[in-house]
Amino acid sequence: MRNSMPANAAVWALQLALAIYLAVFSALPMLRGDAYITETFDRIGFGDWFRHTTGIIELAGAVGLLIPILCGLATMGLVGVMIGAIITEFSVRSPSGAIVPAVLLLLFAFVAWYRWPQTRAFADRVRS
């Protein structure tokens, strides 16, 4: 199943959709300083530097989703970002706000699992 052309094409389509969503609806609003997001990060208490850092990480993750050799690593990093987002939603906003990051976490985890053979091969190349 993992090596079939239709499955691979479907996962690439998912990665493209996730990259677009992450860039357009998450990273760019953070970097622009949209009021809703700025208010959320102010409530966290870390200031604008944390909002900018998170936006840059998410934008880098979106780009990484589109690069074959990096997409597995990018999704593993994005799983970590979504864990942070879920914790933040529960502690700063409301549990219902954790739904979107939880769904994204599951999708990123699926892509990371699917791309694991390529990620492992990349790690082996880096080590040697």
How confident is residue 125, by pLDDT bands cut at 50, 70 and 90?
A: confident
> Would you list the domain boundaries of the chain?
5-122
How confident is residue 128, by pLDDT bands cut at 50, 70 and 90?
A: confident
> pLDDT averaged over the chain?
92
Contacts 24+ apart (CB under 8 A), 88-94: 88/40, 88/44, 92/40, 92/43, 92/44, 93/40, 93/43
Tell me the pLDDT tens digit for each residue of 3-41. 789 999 999 999 999 999 999 999 999 999 998 888 888
How far is the C-alpha of 38 from the C-alpha of 47, rounded, in Å?
9
Number of other CB atoms surrounding residue 125 within 10 Å:
9
How confident is residue 94, by pLDDT bands cut at 50, 70 and 90?
A: confident
